[in-house]
Structure 1
């Protein structure tokens, strides 16, 4: 392992929420719960299980309460619910099964209005309120800055502005602050610069990163972010994902691909790669398509019998 890299990284499994939210084929609550159980079986201990949003806007998340009702009771697993406003936070808290609220602030006005009907500055204040709401309910709260690396409507996003709103969000005391490349436009140099600046501005609050592989730079961006001090990475089983309100915002970095890369570099994740590949194959069957993850297509290395014949297809 390169000396400046950490010995371990925490992964947040976002497949049940971000992985599915843009898919036209609706997965049943029962199958979503199987996906969550498979993620837990593979070692995931933080899982974004659903979002509490308007079901007319995101039909895939219309079953949020039903999914939460079926979550396995695990003291060692943190279930995260994504919320955009106080009403969504109330719904998540009312389930009695969500451990952490995930708020979303936006780095541009036009994306904020399209995604959640809020200006950028309004989204920052609402996110701060959600973190306070979580704390008052005995939960934890975290925040993500969407389109932190580029906006589908406004183009480039100022680093200075991202650092400014990151600092404002962290005044509310989130457990971590995430930078999201919502439309997959970031490059490793850009990532390294912004993560380093945000980390310095909000320390000791951890930096989490959320990358889409829309333009093929997802894994390189994960590596750059970790080198710049990010300690938590979002990933989705199979590499599914996308934003209904951002044109051409395709898949998240695949959990299997991230785990393979980090484990080969000597960085622990606590996840079982073979179990993740099995989860990928199961999910692909449910979605009736091959999923984007490259590792699941290529198979384990070294293969169990040290030959291509032993690799999973």
Structure 2
């Protein structure tokens, strides 16, 4: 039986008033408290909330050697009345457990995840700054802590939640992407559909390579480089004519919460959405004919990022500037739900 009563230790004085929130770089300042719950002796221990502080780990902790680590990304928003909201948290709980199963880690009980999340947000509620573009980014994560360098799943783990106040992920400027014709992010039967920490480590080198060519992100392709999959750390949408295309989720592609929300919103606006394999040939030929109207990324951190140009091998295609792009319309509709500006008929949001 899990003891879900949270043992709470509060800071003596909040650092909130000393932070210049108008000049915070994404993910560099953290709130006053953090949540954690340890797994050992085959069961979850009593959850705790303490002041945000460094961890002490054995150098042989298995996370360092065999990469048993997964994370989630969520956001909390504050409306004009001062009420705080979170967006589809059950999807993040389900997905971290999907990742945990694939990496042979114990699943986090729903009551541990949800109670920890909501209690932590209530304690650090002042860090959720009102105003569109402002939010509190929430990072739940799970990793192996047992000491030992034998190649086997660990017997001990730590589940944690930390929070950081953020503004827009991509501030101004153009976002251009390069379609990969060599690197692949994931493979069938692999861990591409999980938020395993190693997925992101492996993406940095190819991304740095395209940055040298003047692009901000890479569009990943499958192992044969025929089909388009994700854009950097985001799901990606393509508008050809008036039709919206995006790749299906499978072993390789993350089941993004923002992605599935945008698909629903687009369909409800009468936009034709096709969730299917999208080939490099189809998109590049559409670009050459002037039929590729929009490309945009979707994810929790970035929400919706319009892409201004796409590169492939030695070609580059600048996308047209539209008066009423799907990306802007869908982002506005999603943000209006998240900030409690319009009615949430989908029951996606939960009040803190």
Q: Which has the larger radius of gyration?
A: 2
**Larger relative helix fraction:** 1
**Greater fraction of residues in strand:** 2
Q: Same fold (TM over 0.5)?
A: no
What TM-score does the superposition give when structure 2 sets the normalisation length? 0.27
